[in-house]
Each structure stands twice: as structure tokens, then as C-alpha cells.
Structure 1
């Protein structure tokens, strides 16, 4: 009876050890995968914010309809344009009325606004220098009164995006190192509990490769399970992010996502195998009296 109790205790202890290894691998790989998604989608996020900035072209009152139509068409076909929308002075007045809640034309007696074209630029062209060149080129036309855009906002946005990109890359490197260390520690602890078995097998003549093999296979299986759990949770996270922010198009590049998932999977197996090899090798190289420390 005592022997059965001891066997059950050892079995529970073994299952607990395996569970902790799987859990640590799954958590760490999930965090790495989420960080990888953030790194891959940094440009998408940056482009999304850049493309919210518009350049407004105000037209003179004497601008001919044909000239305005030609300008809008040329802007729509330009390589830097994402969208070019004509806004009449009446539409602009309606927008102002909706925003401020009052009809300012009742006080003025006339509409002081101008017809305009709102141009949304592609993200690659949202920089202070490029927008200045675009504005100068458009502003040189006789029927254009003014080209307006928020230059300080563009400069601030580009600086912050650059800073955030560097911080994300640094965080990725740090988290990758932490992931390797955490998974390695979990596997070493699981092998540490079997150090006496390792030494006993070694003393009866088993070779190092023979002793290492079952540990590597076992932890490869645990790494496989942990990686699959991490990928399932990562897939659920992606689904909800796509539902909440469809404009980001997280599923727009399936090849990129497949590469990320494959990378997380291979990383889990690779770290598990390498950590097991070196952890087992460490205890194989210890003297018998060193096993107690």
C-alpha cells in the first residue's frame, strides 16, 4: 500500500513537472508571438495614422469648373494620392454648422468659406519635405488660393513613429532573451529532479547519448504541446483584433502570418531541444558528491 502511495505521489509530481514546463513554454511563446505580431504590424499601424492626415487645397472663387475637375482628376491619379475629394463651400458650411452647433452665416450674411479639395496622401509620402514639394507644385496654379496642412503634426508623427519602432525592436530582443532563459530554467528544473537517475544510469555503463535521448524526446513533446497551445491562443487573439480593428487587415498577408506561426513553433521546439541537451549534459558532467548541491 505504501508502495502504491509512493507511485501515485511520483506520478503526480511528474505530471506537475510536465505541466509547469508546458505552461511556461506556452506563455513565453505566446508573448513572443504577440510581440512578433506587433513588430510585423508596426508599419501598418504607422501607415494607418499617416493616412489620416489630409492636405486641403483651397480654390479661388473665380476658378473655372473645368479647371477644378481637371485638378481633381490629376490629383486622384497622382502616385502620392490615396484619395482626392472635392468639397464645395456649401458642404464645408454644413460641416462647420454640425461641428459648432450654430449657423455662422446668419451672423455674417454670406459664406466666407472656399471650395476645396481634400487630398489624403499615401503613407510613404507623408513627410515634411515631400509634402512641401507637393504643396508648392499645386500652389503654383493660378486658380489655387492656398494649400493647407498641419506641418507640426506631421513632424511630430514621424518622430514618434521612429522612436516607437526602435523601442519595439529593442523590446523584441530583450523578450527573446528572457524567453530563452525562462524556458531553459523550466527544463533544467525538470531534469534536476532526475539527476540521481542520470548518475545511476551513467554508473552502470549507459552512454551519455543514451541517457540524453529520452529527456530530449520528452521535452520535445512538451515543447510541441506548449507551442500548439501558444499558437491557438495567438490565433484567438488575432481573430478578436481583426474583429475590433478591421482596418488594420491583420489577415491581409497570410504568408507573413504563416511565417510568424512557423517561427514560433520552430522556436519552441528548438529552445526545448537545445536547453534539454545542455541541462542533461551538465548533470552528466557532475561528480557524484556534487549532485547534492
Structure 2
């Protein structure tokens, strides 16, 4: 009979530990995913900014030497990520592929212009910087027109600011929720052993002696939960990097290491503090209060 009861208690204890580990790992995993978003939010924003194109249309009278000098100066400029020369023939072929019709059959000639598509570095994709670059280039006599989507740039920069603000707010709120959830799981685990705590206290055990095994057990569970969370986070990061290689998610290795270390340390610290507070609460209760 005693053996069956011991097995039941052991299964119940293991079940309690598993539920705590699952709770810790899930919370830390979600917190890690949010950390990845925070770390890479600027990189994602920069990726979209660098898709903005400034198109420089050239006069038909532009000399080859002038065009080559312009291409070289653009390639050497700080604001240029990439500059691509597009001839009027290439532009006509592109329009034909897009529309499925050859507009030159109706017009009789190619009215398009030779152009250079300039992809800018993210820091220069602002209305002020674009206007300054455009005004500087417009002084060249062989440049007929410079076009870019100013409304799109303004909208993109406004949205980046809003998204960055809300990501920080959500990160703070989610961190608080993570602490509360892990604390709740630990308190429930300690609550199931409140009578053992009081019995040890009644036979003369000191508070630090009673707390020590509870804290050590919780820290072990926190380490296991953190390892499980980090394994899941590594899998997510691996597949995200395969799906979006252009974002180069693994390039900033220092921040990624700090994130992983932070998640691991958080799993230990939160469980340690939560267990200390929970055991201290039951140590301070009177015997008759344990039933409420």
C-alpha cells in the first residue's frame, strides 16, 4: 500500500516538474522570439528602405564619357548601395514583358530614355536626403529628370517609427508577463509542498536550510526550461535565415549570443527569485493558515 502511495507521489512530483519546465520553456521561447524581432527590426526596416529606387533619366544627347563618369561617381558615393544602368532598349523589353504588347508597333519608335536606377543605403532614404541628392544631380546638363516616390518614403519612415515604438512597448509588457507566469508556476510547485516546509520548520530547521533544496530544484528546472527554449529558438532562427537570406539574420553574431545568454540567465534568475519569495511566504505563515 505504501509502495503504491510512494509511486503515486513520485508520478505527481514528476508531473509537477514537467509542467513547470514546459511553462518556463514556452515563456522563454516566446520572449526569445520577441528578442529576435527587436534585434532585427532595424535590419528589416533597412531592407525595405533599400528597395526604394531613384531613377535618373538621361538625355539622348548625353555623351558616353559623361554617362560613364556619372556611373563611377554614383558607385563611389556614400549614399549608393547599387547603381544599375538601364538602356532604352532594355526598358522597352521590360515594358513589353510586363504588358504583353510591343508599344513600339503603335508609336513607331522608342520614346523611352536611357536611365540609371540608384538603390540608396537605408540611412539616406529620407525626404530631406533624397531632395538634397536630387538637387545635386540635377545640376548636370545631360540629366533630363530624376524621379522617386516621395510619398512612399514618408509613409515608410513614419511606419518604421511607429512600429519601433510599439515593439519596445510590447517587449516591456511581455517581459513582465513572462516573469509573472514563471513566478506563478513556481509558486504552485512550492504550494504543493507547504506542509513539508512547515514540518521541517517545526523540527528546528533554519529558513536558509529549508529554502536551499527548493531553490536548487527550481534553478535546475529553470536551466532545463531555458535549454529547451533556446533549442526551439535556434530552430526558428535557422529556418528564418534559410527563408530570408537577404536579411542576414546570423550576421550580427554578438547580439545573438547576448540574446541566448540573456534568455538562459533569465531562466535561472526568475526561478531563483520566485522560489525564494514563495518559500519565504510559507515559512512566515502560521500552521493553521496553511489550509487557506
Given the two structures, how large is their TM-score scaled by the length of structure 1? 0.99
Indicate the residue corresponding to 2:274 in structure 1.
Answer: 275
Indicate the residue corresponding to 2:260 in structure 1.
Answer: 261
User: Does residue 21 of structure 2 align to residue 22 of structure 1?
Assistant: yes
| 1:19 shift after superposition | 0.4
Indicate the residue corresponding to 2:171 in structure 1.
Answer: 172
Indicate the residue corresponding to 1:116 in structure 2.
Answer: 115
User: Does residue 75 of structure 2 align to residue 76 of structure 1?
Assistant: yes
3-state SS of 1:243 partner: helix
Indicate the residue corresponding to 2:217 in structure 1.
Answer: 218
| 1:261 shift after superposition | 0.3
CA distance, structure 2, for counterparts of residue 275 and residue 218 of structure 1: 12
CA distance, structure 2, for counterparts of residue 210 and residue 162 of structure 1: 52
Indicate the residue corresponding to 1:285 in structure 2.
Answer: 284
Q: For each residue in 1:162-191, what CA deviation from the matched residue of structure 2 results, as whole angstroms up to 9, or x when unmatched?
A: 111111111100110000000000000000
3-state SS of 1:79 partner: coil
| 1:253 shift after superposition | 1.5
| 1:256 shift after superposition | 1.3
| 1:125 shift after superposition | 0.5
Indicate the residue corresponding to 1:55 in structure 2.
Answer: 54
CA distance, structure 2, for counterparts of residue 113 and residue 153 of structure 1: 24
CA distance, structure 2, for counterparts of residue 93 and residue 256 of structure 1: 46
CA distance, structure 2, for counterparts of residue 204 and residue 4 of structure 1: 26
CA distance, structure 1, for counterparts of residue 155 and residue 3 of structure 2: 70
CA distance, structure 2, for counterparts of residue 238 and residue 151 of structure 1: 34
Q: For each residue in 1:43-69, what CA deviation from the matched residue of structure 2 results, as whole angstroms up to 9, or x when unmatched?
A: 110010000011000011111110011
Q: For each residue in 1:98-129, what CA deviation from the matched residue of structure 2 results, as whole angstroms up to 9, or x when unmatched?
A: 11110000000011100101000000100011
3-state SS of 2:61 partner: coil
Indicate the residue corresponding to 2:143 in structure 1.
Answer: 144
CA distance, structure 2, for counterparts of residue 250 and residue 120 of structure 1: 21
Indicate the residue corresponding to 1:40 in structure 2.
Answer: 39
CA distance, structure 1, for counterparts of residue 105 and residue 91 of structure 2: 15
3-state SS of 1:86 partner: strand
Q: How many residues in Structure 1 have an aligned counterpart in Structure 2? A: 292
After superposing on structure 2, the runs of 4+ consecutive aligned residues of structure 1 that deviate more than 4 Å are none
| 1:139 shift after superposition | 1.0
Superposition RMSD in Å: 0.6
Structure 2 spans left out of the alignment, 5+ residues? none
Indicate the residue corresponding to 1:242 in structure 2.
Answer: 241
Given the two structures, how large is their TM-score scaled by the length of structure 2? 0.99
